[in-house]
Structure 1
Amino acid sequence: MASYASSRGLALYPHQDEAIIELLGGSNVVLATPTGSGKSLVALGAHAAALATDRVSFYTAPIKALVSEKFFDLCEVLGADNVGMLTGDAAVNADAPVICCTSEVLANIALREGAAADIGLVVMDEFHYYGEPDRGWAWQVPLLELPQAQFLLMSATLGDMTEIAGDLTRRTGRETAVVDEAERPVPLTFTWSLTPLDETLEELVTTGQGPVYVVHFTQAAAVEHATSLVKAGWVGGGASAELKERLAGVRFGAGFGKTLGGLLRKGIGVHHAGMLPRYRRLVEQLAQAGLLRVICGTDTLGVGINVPIRTVLFTGLAKYDGQRQRVLRTREFLQIAGRAGRAGYDTAGYVVVQAPEHVIENEKAKAKAVERQAAGKKNSKAQLRKPPEGTVVWTEATFTKLVEGRPEPLQSRMKVDNAMILNVVAREEDAFAVLRRLLTDNHEDRRTQLRLARRALRLARSLLASGVLTRLASPDALGRRYALTEDLPADFALNQPLAHFALAALDVLDHESPDHTVEVVSVVESVLEAPRQILFAQQHAARGEAIAEMKADGLEYDERMALLEEITWPQPLSELLEGLYETYRQSHPWLPEDALGPKSIVRKMYEQGMTFTDFVGRYQLARSEGLVLRYLTDAYKTFLHTVPEAHRTPSLEDLIEWLGETVRQTDSSLLDEWEALADPAHARPDVAHHEPPPPPRPISQQTRAFAVMVRNALWRRVELVARDDVRGLAALDRTDAGRFDPPREPAMDAAAWDAALEAYFTDHDDVLLAGDARGPAYLVTRDEVVDGRRVRHVRQTLADPAGDHDWVIDAEVDLDASDALGELALVIAAMRRLDGV
C-alpha cells in the first residue's frame, strides 16, 4: 500500500501503517480515527489483501449513494471485473471477489448463509450506524453470524469500542486491534460566537477562513439564509471568470433552479438532501474548485458528502429529530464538525458555534449598559431577554462539553421479525439452534434477549399456523426440524419486497378496460416506498380545494372540519389493492401490514399532462425536488423490471417512455448511474466520479416521449373544456406561457376561453371523453420552420355527441424552446369552430 500511496503522491500516516499491518497479520481492526485521516486507503488495503489471498471481501455503507461511489472507486483501482454491487435494487457482477453493498443486504446474506457464506473479509464503513434505532440490527447481525470473516469497522465517531472489540475476538478467534490514536491531519480550532450570525459569517469570509459551510437544521432555513446573503457586499468576489465559465453551460430549471443559479453566480452555495442530484453535485464540484465562499446547508453534511470546506459554522446546537427538539449529541456534533479543514489544502480548520439569539442580544445589552454607566448614567441597567417559550437552549457549557466529549457508547439495536426467521430457516442447518444463538447471544442485555426470544417464538407459531413453515415429523439429514413450505424467491429481502405482490395484482386487472394503462401505473405506485413529503403536500392541496368547495356550499365550520379528516392524498384502486394485499399476506406473512401504499404521483402527472416543473410548483415542493426525482426514477426502474410483457400495451410503453424522458430531462444523474452499473468498465467519467451530468439530449428528438407530452397537454385542455372550467384553462395557459424565456403572453385569457366555451355549448350539450376520444384520429400535427424557428402545429378535435367534429383546439409547440427548457414549450392559439363544417 505504501507504493500505491506513493504513486498518488501520498505518504501513509502511522495509524494507517498500523491498521494495514494488523489486517495483513489476520486481525480484525476497529479504525476510529478523525475525518480526513485516510480510512478509505486502509479499506482499499484490506480489499487488496483479500484479493491476494483469494478471499471474497464485502464493503458496506449505510446509504446507496456511498455504496455506489465506492463501487466506481474500486472499479478504477481494482478493475471492473473484480468488483460487484448489491444495493437492493441493483445487482451487478454479483460473483465478483469484491462486493459493495448496503448493510441490510449483507445482514440478509449473513442470516441466510451464516458461516457457510463465501465471505472472507468485511469492511463496514460509517459503523456508528450500529446505534441507529431502525437500522442498527443490520450492522450487528454480520458480527454475530459471520465468524469466518475478518472485519474492518470504520468511523470517526465510534466512542468506546472495548466490549464490541472483545466480543468480535471471541466470535471470530482473531485478535481485534483498536486503532484510535491518530493526530488529525488538519487540526481544528473551536470558537463560541457571541456576535450575530451574519456578522460572524462576514468576519470568517473576510479574514480568509472561507469557504464556510453554515449548518442549518431545516432546508427552508438554509435556502432563506443563502438568499439573504445575495446583497451582502462582503460576499462579493464570487463572480470570478472561472466561476462564470463553469456555470455557462449549466441549465437551471424553473423554481429552485433559477434561485440556485443566481446564488452560485455570487459565490454562494446551497446544499441539502432535497435538491436535485445534479445541483447538489454542482455545488460540491464548485466547492472542490474553491469557487464558493459560503455554502448554506443542513446537518446532512456528516455522511458521504463531498464538500471540502475550511470552516463549519453552526447556527445552533439544537435540532428537531422527528419527535422532539433536543440538543445535538456528541457524535452528531463531531461528525459535522469533523468536515472542517481540507487535507491537502488547509493547515488548520475552524469550527464556530453561534450562541442563541437571546444570549447574543443580552450580551449587547450588557455592553451598552456598561457604556452608559461609564458615562455617568448610574441607573442604566440592561433589559435582558428570556429565551422564546418552548425552545431548547444551549449554552457555552453545552458547547464545551460537546467539543471535549467522546462519542456516546454505541447502543445495540437488535430486532427479530418474520423475514429474519424465514432467512434462517432457509439455511442448511437447524434453524432453532441458529435462532437461539442469534437471539440469546448477541449484544443486548439479558432481559432484552429473552424478550426477543419470546417474540421469535410467537412469530414462528404464526408462520406454522399460516402454513408458511412446516414442522417435520423427524429431523432431516441436515438436522432441520422446520422447513419452508415453498422456497423463498432468490431476491427475497434484497429487492423491492412487494414486487411479487405487484405481479399478482396485475393479473387481476381487466385488460380490456380503457383505464388499464393507468391502473397498471396505480399497481406499480402502490408498491413503491412512500415519499411522505410529497403525499402530505398532495393531501394539503386536496384539503384546501375541499374547504373552498364546502364553504361555497355553505357548510358550517364544525362540519367542514369533520369532513376534512377523511380527505387524504389520491389513492386510486385502494379498496381493490388493500383487499388483495390482505389475502396475499396470508401466504406471505413476512410482509409488513403497512407496506402497501396506494398513491398517485406518476398517474397524476400523466393524466393531467404535468411536467416535472408543473408538479413541483402545483404542490409547492421546490425544496424537495430531489425527493420527487428519486420517486419518479424508482417508478421508472420498477416499470422496466417488474411489469411483464403480457401487460406492456403500446399505451403503457408510451407512458414508460414519457416517464423515462421526464426523468432524464430533469436530471439524468440517477438513471446514468444505474445504467453505468451494467457496464462499469465503460461508464462515462462524469458518472463514475459523481459529477453533474452533461446537458440532456434534445427533448424534441425523443419522438415517442415527446408525442406523449404533446398529447397529454392537449387532452388536459379537453378535460377542462368538458368541465366548463374557464379558470383552470386560463391558469394552465398562463403557466405554459410563463415557461418561455422570456415569458410570453398567453393568446387565450379567461375571457377568450369563456366566449369559446359558451359558443361550443350552444352547439353541443357535452364533450365526450370515453371511447376513442383520446385516440390518434382526433389529434393531428404538422411541422414547419417559421422565421428560423422549428414549430409543430397541433390540432385537437373535440368529440361531440352529434359526431360533427366541428370544434378544435389549435396549439403551437416551439421545438427549439422545448429543447432549451427540457420540457414541452406549448401555447394554445385558439379554441374555435371549423369553417365550412
Structure 2
Amino acid sequence: MVAQAPEHVVENEKALAKAGDDPKKRRKVVRKKAPEGFVSWGQNTFEKLIASDPEPLTSRFRVTHAMLLSVIARPGDAFTAMRKLLEDNHEDRRAQLRHIRRAIAIYRSLLDGGVVERLDTPDAEGRSVRLTVDLQQDFALNQPLSTFALAAFDLLDPESPSYALDMVSVVESTLDDPRQILAAQANKAKGEAVAEMKADGVEYEERMERLMDITHPQPLEELLFHAYGLYRKSHPWVGDHPLSPKSVVRDMYERAMTFGEFVSHYELARTEGIVLRYLASAYKALEHTVPDERKSEDFEDIVAWLGELVRQVDSSLLDEWEQLAHPEEDQEDAQDQPAAERVRPVTANARAFRVLVRNAMFRRVELAAWDRLAELGELDGESGWDRGRWAEAMDAYWEEYDDLGTGPEARGPKLLRIEELPEDGLWRVRQTFADPRGDHDWGISAEVDLTASDAEGRAVLKVTDVGTL
C-alpha cells in the first residue's frame, strides 16, 4: 500500500526542512492550512489503513439502451460482445443474471420497436443484428421509456398545427417528474379555478369537489396512457417505469414566457435550480432522442429556443455536457474565462433568437386576448405603452372584432414578419393578429434592440404601434 501526504503537509515539511534545526527559524515558519473540509490524518491513520480490511467496492454498472445501441452499431457480433461485457466482470453471479435479464428486455424492446433487426446471415462486418436506420451521431435512448416515445411518435399527425408541441409532450411524459414544478402548476390551476367558481357563484362544497379533479397540465394524457397500456402488454418490463404526462417546456413555450417569467408566475424562486435542471434535461432528451427524420421545422425551432434559454440562464449546464459529448474540442481556454464572458451573445444563434422574438411578440398577443392590460403596461410602460395606451388600442380592436386567436396557427411564423437591420443594430417586427374574419390587418409593430438583447440574454423590444397597417 502506498499513501501520499496531502499537498499542504508536503509544503509544510519542505518549509521546516529548509529552516533546518534552528528552533527560532522553525517557529517563524508559516504553516499552510489544510483545505476546508479536510479530514486530518497521521501515523495512526496510516497504520490503521494497512491493518484494516479494505472497504468493499460498490458497483455502479448499469445496462442501458444507449449501451446496447453502441454495441450493436460496432462491427462484430453484438451478442458475443454483450455476453463478454455482462459475464467477464467482478459482479457476483446474482447481479450478473440481473444485468443479463435487463439486457435481454432492452434488446427485445429495440427489436419490437423496429430500432434493430436480426440478420439471417452476418453482414460483411460480422454483425448478426444491426440498426434499421442511420441514427444521428448523437442519438441516445437514455430514458427507460425512450423506445415507447419512438413508438408513440407514430400516433401523432404531422399535419397538425400542434405536431411539434405534441412531440415535446411525448418526450416530457418519459422524463422524471420535477415534483416542485408540478405541485406549483396544480396550485396555480386550483387558485384560478377557485376564483372563477366564486365569480360564478358556485357553492363551497361543490367547489371543493371540483378541485379534486384539478391537477397539473397533462397534454395528450388519454392518448399516451392508452398507447402505454398497449405497449406494456408486449413490453412488460416497462411497468417498472410509469408514464407521467406533464407540461413544463410546452407550458412555458405556449405561454411565451422567459425563464424569469415562468419562475415568477408559478412562484418557484426558491427552487429555480430545479426548473433549470429539468429544462436542461428536457433539451438534451429532445435533441438526442428524436430521430432527425421526425424533426419538423417547428420542432427544430422549439429545441433551438430551449437550448438558448438554458444557456443564457446558466451556460455551464450545456457547456459541461458538450465537453463530454465532444471531448476532442479544446475548451480549456473557455474554462479559464469568467462565466460572464463564456456566455455567447443571444443574437449569435439566429434561429433561437428569432423564436425568442416570436415568443416575446406573441406574449403580448396572449395578454391582449386575455385583457390583462396591467401586465402589458408593465412590459411596455418604459417605451410609452402603459396600461392606458394599451387599453385605448385594444378598445378599437374589440369594436371591430369579438375574438383574438391564440392557437397554434395564430402563433405561427406566417403571422410574424421580421425585417433584419443589423447595420442599425435592430430588427423591425410585425406580429399580425389572428382575427375571426381572417382580415389580418391588425397587429403589433416593434423594434428589437440587438445590443440590449445581447446584454440581457433575451429579446429586448420596444413596441412602436398597435393597430391597423
Structure 1 length-normalised TM: 0.43
User: Quick one: which amino acid aligns to residue 394 of structure 2?
Assistant: L
After TM superposition, where is structure 1 displaced by more than 4 Å over at least 4 residues in a row? 1-22, 58-61, 85-91, 112-116, 142-147, 685-694, 768-773, 783-786
Matched positions, count = 400
8 Å contact from structure 1 (residues 709, 824) kept in 2 = yes
What is the correspondence of 1:201-600 to structure 2 with a 5 Å cutoff? 422-423=101-102, 495-592=142-239, 595-600=242-247
User: Quick one: which amino acid aligns to residue 730 of structure 1?
Assistant: A
Structure 1 residues 510-519 or 745-754, which shifts more? 745-754
- Cα distance in structure 2, aligned partners of 1:688 and 1:712: 32
Partner of 1:791: 426
Cα offset, 1:733, TM superposition: 4.5
Change (3 A) 1:87 1:538: farther
- Cα distance in structure 1, aligned partners of 2:45 and 2:85: 29
8 Å contact from structure 1 (residues 810, 829) kept in 2 = yes
Cα offset, 1:809, TM superposition: 0.6
State which structure, 1 or 2, has the greater radius of gyration over its C-alpha atoms. 1
Partner of 1:655: 302
- Cα distance in structure 2, aligned partners of 1:60 and 1:692: 35
Cα offset, 1:814, TM superposition: 2.3
- The answer as to 2:378 corresponding to 1:731 is no
Partner of 1:232: none
Unpaired runs of 5+ residues, structure 2, are 14-40, 72-81, 106-111, 113-128, 131-140
Partner of 1:638: 285
User: Quick one: which amino acid aligns to residue 422 of structure 1?
Assistant: R
More helix by share: 2
Cα offset, 1:7, TM superposition: 8.5
Cα offset, 1:755, TM superposition: 2.1
- Give the secondary structure class of the aligned counterpart of 1:510: coil
More strand by share: 1
- Cα distance in structure 1, aligned partners of 2:305 and 2:443: 25
Cα offset, 1:748, TM superposition: 2.5
User: Quick one: which amino acid aligns to residue 200 of structure 2?
Assistant: D
Cα offset, 1:497, TM superposition: 0.5
- The answer as to 2:442 corresponding to 1:811 is no
Cα offset, 1:568, TM superposition: 0.4
Partner of 2:463: 828
- Cα distance in structure 2, aligned partners of 1:541 and 1:718: 22
Identity of aligned residues (%): 46
- Cα distance in structure 2, aligned partners of 1:687 and 1:823: 22
Change (3 A) 1:772 1:571: closer
8 Å contact from structure 1 (residues 730, 748) kept in 2 = no
Change (3 A) 1:89 1:692: farther
Deviations 1:527-557 (A, max 9, x none): 0100000000000111111111001101111
- Cα distance in structure 2, aligned partners of 1:629 and 1:796: 29
- Give the secondary structure class of the aligned counterpart of 2:54: strand
- Cα distance in structure 1, aligned partners of 2:408 and 2:257: 23
- Cα distance in structure 2, aligned partners of 1:606 and 1:708: 10
Unpaired runs of 5+ residues, structure 1, are 32-57, 62-84, 96-111, 121-141, 148-415, 427-467, 469-485, 488-493, 738-743
Structure 2 length-normalised TM: 0.73
- Cα distance in structure 1, aligned partners of 2:163 and 2:191: 30
Candidates 22, 29, 33, aligned match of 2:54: 29
Cα offset, 1:715, TM superposition: 2.2
User: Quick one: which amino acid aligns to residue 601 of structure 1?
Assistant: V
RMSD value, Cα: 4.2
8 Å contact from structure 2 (residues 65, 144) kept in 1 = no
8 Å contact from structure 2 (residues 377, 387) kept in 1 = no
Change (3 A) 1:777 1:545: same
Deviations 1:693-744 (A, max 9, x none): 75411102211001001112222333444x3x222x431451x35xxxxxx6
- Cα distance in structure 2, aligned partners of 1:570 and 1:7: 54
- Cα distance in structure 2, aligned partners of 1:707 and 1:422: 48
Deviations 1:448-506 (A, max 9, x none): xxxxxxxxxxxxxxxxxxxx9xxxxxxxxxxxxxxxxx99xxxxxx9310000000101
- Give the secondary structure class of the aligned counterpart of 2:237: coil
Change (3 A) 1:749 1:691: closer
Partner of 1:677: 324
User: Quick one: which amino acid aligns to residue 823 of structure 1?
Assistant: R
